[in-house]
Amino acid sequence: MAKSESEARAGTAAPGVGPHMEVKSAVLGFLGEFNAFQSEIKAKLQEQESRLAMLDRKSIAMNRPPLARAAEAETPHKKAFAAYLRSGDDDGLRGLGVEEKALSTAVAADGGYLVDPVTAGQIVGVLRSSASIRAIANVVTVEASAFDVLVDHTDIGSGWATESGAVAETGTPQVDRISIPLHELSALPKASQRLLDDSAFDVEGWLAQRIADKFSRAEASAFVAGDGVDKPTGFLNYPKVDNDLFAWGSLGYVPTGTDGDFDATEPADAIVDLVYALGARYRANATFVMNSKTAGAVRKMKDADGRFLWSDGLAAGEPARLMGYPVLIAEDMPDIASGTFAIAFGDFRAGYTVAERPDLRILRDPFSAKPHVLFYATKRIGGDVSDFAAIKLLKFAGA
């Protein structure tokens, strides 16, 4: 007897598996494939959204409205540097060929970028105008790791000769070489990412001001009292001897005659003695250096005719003068106390040399202080006494 079509299909089915089980299995397989396809689509959409967000951020940064009319003429270097500071986007810097420098000799991947000339110039301008020895010292720019100063501090011998007499050999001058090593000066200002994202925030101006402020304070302290260990050597770090016993390698001083103060009856005499303890060839370009507290005591002094020794500058920006010589107020000078050297007088253009490299570097660090961004700025600089005879000190002591 012939079998029906349904009976034939039933005969081909697997033992124990009915038609409804086959349908269920097929549906489950379809759902699994659909879920995998849906997950893949979501992942691709999220990736695309991330890329679009990054592009939008870069385009917004590049199209921020300028803060002033002068910003319309800014250079591509400045725009690229601003983008690097705000978002870490260094594509513009690389495209312009801005050189990347290693900030660490131990870690090759620890890099930073040379800043644009406008920002660097702003920082240097603040440093030059600050109340620091830099303002009156000899400042040189070098490309090496040290700067050598050749100093001739002895005289050539001479003698009178007769027409027919033999000429005697005279003394030969001695030349000393002073090597000024360059040390790394650093600053680490930080700003929130929200502040950096603000289109009206002048991130370059803010960064330049913070760096200049930190550098100027660190420099000022080192140029006066630095010990030469990973920093410049200050002029007060050298041995001090009575000016009558002055020898090269030390600074000569003049005592006030009273321990920890000026003389009670003739306080101005010590200032006069200090001025004329300096050689005549240095006095023409000499400057007094003291802090504000000492200046407050000195400006009350009068000469024998009742005239003040101190006179304020007649024009804006002109320094005050003491006995006709300019006065630099350097807060890192010591206060008047027993045995301190609170006043210096000398030709610092000849007596102290500041050597620095022209490059300033910035490393952007968005990870170490979240949600803030750190900016690690470094500069190579050194300083040392280049002529010991050009600087004299006033010691507040009896001898």
CATH of the domain at 141: 3.30.2400
Residues 1-60 have pLDDT tens digits of: 444 544 544 444 455 556 677 777 777 777 778 777 778 877 777 777 666 656 555 555
Any idea which of 10-24, 359-373, 384-398 has the lowest mean pLDDT? Answer: 10-24
Q: Could you tell me if residue 63 is inside a domain?
A: no
Distance CA 163, CA 387 (A): 39
Judge whether 6 lies within some domain: no
| Pair 192, 267 in one domain | no
Q: Does 216 lie in the same domain as 82?
A: yes
- How many domains are contained in the chain? 2
CATH of the domain at 331: 3.30.2320.10
What is the span of the domain harbouring residue 248? 237-353+386-395
Residues 200 and 245 in one domain: no
Q: Give the span between the Cα atoms of 192 and 237, in whole angstroms.
A: 40
70-79, 100-109, 202-211, 340-349: least confidently modelled range: 100-109
Same domain, 121 and 256: no
Domain co-membership, 365 together with 223: yes
Same domain, 241 and 293: yes
213/103 same-domain check: yes
Model-level pTM greater than 0.85? no
Q: What is the pLDDT of residue 210?
A: 85
Verify that 205 and 294 share a domain, yes or no.
Answer: no
Percent of the chain exceeding pLDDT 70 equals 69
For residues 181-194, give the mean pLDDT.
86
For residue 65, tell me if it sits in a domain.
Answer: no
Q: Are residues 349 and 360 in the same domain?
A: no
